[in-house]
Amino acid sequence: MENLENSADCKETVSPLNNSGSVMNSTEPHCDGKAMGFVLVHAGAGYHSESKAKEYKHVCKRACQKAVDRLRAGGLALEAVTAALIELEDSPFTNAGTGSNLNLSGEIECDASIMDGKSLNYGAVGALSGIKNPVLVARRLLSEAQKGKLSAGRIPPCFLVGRGAEQWAISHGIPVCLTDKMTTKFSLSAYKRNKRKMELAEQVETKRRRQSSGRGNDFGCLECVTDIMVEGEENNSACLDTVGAVVVDREGNVAAAVSSGGLAMKHPGRVGQAAHYGCGCWAENGRDVSLYSTAASTSGSGEHLIRTILARECSTAMQAENAHQALLEAMQNKFISSPFLAGEDCVLGGVIVLRCCTCGEAQNSEDIKALMVEFLWSHTTESMCVGYMSAQDSKARLAYLDFLLEQWQDSRWQSKVEFVDLERGANEVV
């Protein structure tokens, strides 16, 4: 195995960026029944409490195992990525499905989307309440769309929101789940704490306006209240947003999915990047042997990711010869320094990507299916938890990324690449 670590000058970097990746190669008989495929998952780019680091790692491992189980059973990429997302949504420690952030009204509204690289079909739900696994509704929307037009020539929906999405899910056999069942002690206590802080902030703002109009710029206790607003945020989940996965199966098909409970205390009806086309996830099989099949799943500040269409931008960048450099440049030019985010003080986001292609010597062979798979991840946030596993591995591997912002004040890139043989399984990064 060969390791490579690089640092290069970065100009006008608004936020720090951490990037890692691996290259996996495999040549196997096409019809020997041997399992083949790969999954890469993330539990969000944001802030992960150190006290819950073990839980984040465990859920990433379980999600990888669920996806690989489907691949080993002969399932395609779309089935495997759905299995991974269900596991991530069911964890009370992730901000997706069970345990999602509560909105201003104390309700859970989830966003999710999924894309199939083979058919290029896409399904998504936004501000969805009452469904335990939003990714199942997104997947069902995708599947129904593949069946063709509805009665009277109507075009089937690919993106539904709110009450309409819930009604559609129920009519297609997906069971309801009340908010109380999806709310955890942690998410409820966070909601109550945040609500008290908002009420306090509104009181201070009211006092500030009165004092400003009556006695110039005397803001009273505004500064000390600001300190209270950020105190004790060690277990804050507001910045931990979105889970996702990307998968490639033995046929070289790719799929991607993403799911999120959204920002804490968001306005009811708000839809984040997890549901938006090209923003939360992207998957596209190569149309010919000269192109890579690519898949991406994002996380972070939804509004930032929507305005930059980051999933598609990163996926498109993967057609470059040097995937590692291409991802660095995409994150810098299309996200951190994007003109669409001009004026933003802190650009927060993360992405996992993979690309694969049929190796040259096997492209014309009927008997050999040789795939090269490269996977990478990048984030500008404090931390990001990533897990990955091939169908040849006995267990999933993890990359738990955590760094302090002051370490990046010299405006330098830090990056790492690992080269791994798929037949021997992946080697642990961290």
| Closest among 136, 133, 128 to 167, alpha carbons compared | 128
Catalytic residue among 82, 94, 242, 381: 242
The two three-digit tokens of residue 68, written as one number: 């690989």
The two three-digit tokens of residue 342, written as one number: 């001009």
What distance in Å separates the CA atoms of residue 125 and residue 168, rounded to the nearest whole number?
10
pLDDT tens digit sequence for 189-211: 999 999 999 999 988 888 888 87
What distance in Å separates the CA atoms of residue 390 and residue 143, rounded to the nearest whole number?
26
User: Which pLDDT band holds residue 360 (cuts at 50, 70, 90)?
Assistant: low
| Closest among 191, 179, 302, 240 to 52, alpha carbons compared | 240
- Of 286 and 359, more confident: 286
pLDDT tens digit sequence for 5-20: 222 333 233 344 565 5
pLDDT tens digit sequence for 129-138: 999 999 999 9
- Is domain 3-103+114-120+236-424 annotated with CATH 3.60.20.30? yes
| 183 part of the active site | no
What DSSP designation does 204 have? H
* Sheet containing 3-6: order of strands: 3-6, 414-421, 18-29, 368-379, 349-358, 293-300, 281-284
- Of 3 and 226, more confident: 226
Return the percentage of the chain with pLDDT > 70, whole number.
75
pTM, entire model: 0.84
Find out whether 35 and 389 touch, Cβ atoms under 8 Å. no
Q: Which position has the token pair 């720090």?
A: 16
Span of 109-113, 231-235, 374-378, 424-428 with lowest mean pLDDT: 231-235
Q: Rounded mean pLDDT of the chain?
A: 81
* Strand, helix or coil for residue 359: coil
| Closest among 281, 308, 284 to 294, alpha carbons compared | 284
**How does DSSP assign 26-40, residue by residue?**
EEEETTS----EEEE
- The predicted model gives 75-99 an average pLDDT of 97
Rg of the chain's alpha carbons, rounded to an integer?
22
* Strand, helix or coil for residue 266: coil
Distance spanning both ends of the chain, measured CA to CA? 15
pLDDT tens digit sequence for 137-180: 999 999 999 999 999 999 999 999 999 999 999 999 999 999 99
Find out whether 103 and 270 touch, Cβ atoms under 8 Å. yes
Structure-derived torsion over alpha carbons of residues 419, 4, 352, 363, reported in degrees to the nearest 10: -40
What distance in Å separates the CA atoms of residue 388 and residue 396, rounded to the nearest whole number?
6
Query: Any idea where the domains of the chain sit in the sequence?
Result: 3-103+114-120+236-424, 185-230
* Strand, helix or coil for residue 115: strand
Helix axes 134-146, 162-171, angle to 10 degrees: 70
| Closest among 159, 89, 94 to 131, alpha carbons compared | 89
| Closest among 8, 7, 37, 5 to 21, alpha carbons compared | 5
